[in-house]
Structure 1
Amino acid sequence: MSNTLLIAGTDTGAGKTFVTTVLAAYWLKYRTQSSLGIMKPIQSGEGDRELYQKLFTLEQSAEELNPLYFQAPLAPPIAAAKENRSIDLGLVWQTLLKLQKRKDLLLVESLGGLGSPITDELTVADLAGEWRLATILVVPVRLGAIAQAVANVALARQAKINLRGIILNCTQPLTEEEITDLTPSGLIESFTHIPILGCLPYLKESTNLEQLAEVGSNLDWERLL
């Protein structure tokens, strides 16, 4: 079992934060003897770190939860330039190592999609490959999902990412037939050769920990870890 999972997405709005909260809620409810850490390495604008602090009691500092923060909700190189700051990946790396040593499972939520820039030279995919982070790809259930899945898996392979699987995520209410039509599991697995670990339903109330944990119990945890 790897103790670190990078939750990446096909793009902004895929549902990485939701998937991270589902995984965290499940772990805290059903793996009570094991410790959990959450990390948002770089955040631009408010949102994710604030939600994690609200939902979970984590034995880690705010700086460990989010080592780098920029005010503008833009790609990190642009947000950093607006503040005349550099992106200190050394700080992020050291924080990651510290949390890995202390936690049985560390969930790392990436920004944007695998192709999103972290610096002027590196994308999320580059970093995931170089840092050898086991990765879960979140694919939103909507028209175009098949093409997004295929393109992002190709990018993951190019960057030599250890891609554990795909989690489908309903960002709006959908019927089973609509989910099957928009994201046919067999077809996506046939094109990508990557297993689909489950499909998360749309939840109107996404801060109910009991509900989040229950949803998480339907995922394929053996392949996740």
Structure 2
Amino acid sequence: MTTYFISGIDTDAGKSYATGLMAKYLHQNNRKIITQKFAQTGCQGISEDILTHREIMGVELFEEDKDFTTCPFVFDYPASPHLAANMQNKKIDIEQINNSTKTLEERYEIVLLEGVGGLHVPISLDYSLLDFLEEKRYPVILVTSSKLGSINHTLMSLEIMKNRNIPLHGLIYNHYPAKSEFILNDSINVFHHYLEKFGFDCPIVEIPVFEKSSDANVEFGKLFH
């Protein structure tokens, strides 16, 4: 079994769609795959990102979704997880997340664990998602996009991962919103340059703008051999 951690450079980078597409690719290639969500804010019941994963995969909910193994922490308020949890007088128990991942690893070949927001999102005032990744050392798949500001956020994410010795398995470049071909082409060149500069030997996978119900032509074989 292998667990990959999917993080975005910030919120709304497209990591839920990327996670769903990767899961669909692996499922269609006969890999025993499940997705997990670190925590979910801004909804009730089953994590809306887990629902997005299943919709993209074209499958029904797993039993592990229904019993909340794939996302045990769901909070109503759309905010950073530390705040959303505090507003409901709760705390995010890292050990419970670890136990959920362990359960999934025992049942599936591959677990895609989607984070929440960017790399340095606080889980509590003294513990961030970055601290979690430094401890667990999951191979990270980092999702970036073509939004203005993404180059800055991406390069800062790469530098902090290098400084924390967090392994990078791949960089996903989400074309959405794809407002400029000049930005799309230049960003790819910049990312290749800085991956090499920071010493990361991993592929860049591009995701075109797509509809959830359609098949996106994405070269995920670069990530999963």
Q: Could you tell me the TM-score, scaled by structure 1's length?
A: 0.86
Aligned to 1:143: 148
The count of residues paired between Structure 1 and Structure 2 equals: 215
Q: Distance in 1 between matches of 2:50 and 2:161?
A: 26
| Correspondent of 1:35 among 32, 35, 43 | 32
Q: CA deviation at 1:145?
A: 2.8
- Aligned residues of 1:197 and 1:220 also touching (Cα < 8 A): no
Cα distance between partner residues in 1 of 2:205 and 2:162: 21
Instruction: Identify which of 160, 168, 183 aligns with 1:163.
Output: 168
**Among candidates 37, 41, 44, match of residue 44 of structure 1:** 41
5+ residue gaps, structure 2, are none
Task: Give, in angstroms, the shift of residue 134 of structure 1.
Answer: 1.1
Taking a change above 3 Å as real, the CA distance of residues 150 and 10 of structure 1, as seen in their structure-2 partners, is same
- Check if 1:61 corresponds to 2:70: no
Give the match for residue 18 of structure 2: 19
Structure 1, unaligned stretches of length 5 or more? none
In structure 1, the partner of 2:122 is 117
Change (3 A) 1:127 1:146: same
- The residue type equivalent to 2:32 in the other structure is S
Go from structure 1 to structure 2 and tell me whether the alpha carbon gap of 1:117 and 1:176 turns closer, same or farther (over 3 Å shift). Answer: same
Q: 1:114 touches 1:152 (CA, 8 Å); kept in 2?
A: yes
What does residue 5 of structure 2 align with?
6
Q: Does 1:70 align with 2:75?
A: yes
Moved more, 118-127 or 139-148: 139-148
Paired letter, 2:192: G
Distance 1:148 1:196 in 2: 18
Give the secondary structure class of the aligned counterpart of 1:207. Answer: coil
Alignment check: 8 A CA contact 1:40 1:109 kept: yes
Query: TM-score, normalised on structure 2?
Result: 0.86
Q: Which amino acid is the alignment partner of residue 45 of structure 1?
A: G
Alpha-carbon deviation of 1:159? 2.7
Question: Secondary structure at the residue paired with 1:99?
Answer: helix
Looking at structure 2, the residues matched to 127 and 160 of structure 1 have their Cα atoms a distance apart, in angstroms, of 13
